[in-house]
Amino acid sequence: MIDKPPGCTSHDVVARCRRIFAQKRVGHAGTLDPDATGVLVVGLGQATRLLQFLSGLAKRYTGEVVLGVTTTTLDSAGDVTGTWDMHGVTVDEARAAAATLTGQISQVPPMVSALKVGGRRLHELARAGIEVERAPRSVTVTRFDVGLAGLAGAGAAGLAGAGAASGQGPVLAIDVECSPGTYIRTLAADLGTALGGGAHLRNLRRLAVGNFTVAEAVTLETLEAVGEPGKLLISPADALARAGLGRAVADRELAGAVAHGKVLPVASVHAAGATGSGPWAVVTEDGVLLAVYQSHGKDQAKPAAVLAPQ
């Protein structure tokens, strides 16, 4: 896990990891905006094939919503497109508005996102000055906490004066837990609209991807400084366990079948200790990941990814 710094893309992080670990195949599970910081789960070598099983994990973010100012990018990197006097907004009003943006909601992806439309990423089109129609997407916001940035226990006190010296308007601190695919900058903009004006996002930080937390993440500088960066890696089997995959412990016979990518009866996977409907991580008795299997047809399991022996 990398604690991504501001000012670089997720692709930049991947490129640096290639150099640090001398790996050609490197990928990540979930893009972070260039100005955002925090957890970026990176996979190396064969483990890049396992990132698909981490893409559905819930996310947690913190950030700040600047009320009264909208921008072209919905965050502080964009040009100002509108201003409102929102200094009379209270924290209680902001929390009530946030409640309307909690649960299953519909979002229009921003033009600066990495989503592809017609084979091109939206942010590439935006840089070319092209705006296209984007279909709303359903996402789930399980928690949307709002407070006054920098002032604990403000309660229902007015936000007048917060950030006023900079001319940006009141600033709210937010803490969000959400489904993958949720755009926090869009959530910030929608919060501003719900409060009768506009808003943009700044200082976005991803605290967690599922059970992968920023407290355990390491910086790129740390990886470059240590003599053996490989010692800081999480094993593929442990990563899948954190992602909630069931685990089957294979004996010699089952391990042989798995190594050859054979379709198996689900009963044999369950007999090896796995539960549920999959996908399942199949490991050796020593805990080394052999493959990931998933349900296939009636009462069968097929390999979704088989790892070559190390």
Residues forming the active site: 33
CB 289 within 8 Å of CB 307: yes
- The residues near 228 (Cβ < 8 Å, ≥ 6 apart) are none
Long-range contacts of 270-273 (CB under 8 A, 24+ apart): 272/248, 273/247, 273/248, 273/249
DSSP class per residue in 251-265? -HHHHHHHHTT--EE
**Three-class SS state of 151:** strand
Q: Nearest to residue 35, comparing CAs of 203, 168, 219, 152?
A: 203
- The residues near 68 (Cβ < 8 Å, ≥ 6 apart) are 83, 84, 85, 86, 87, 168, 169, 170, 192, 197, 198, 199
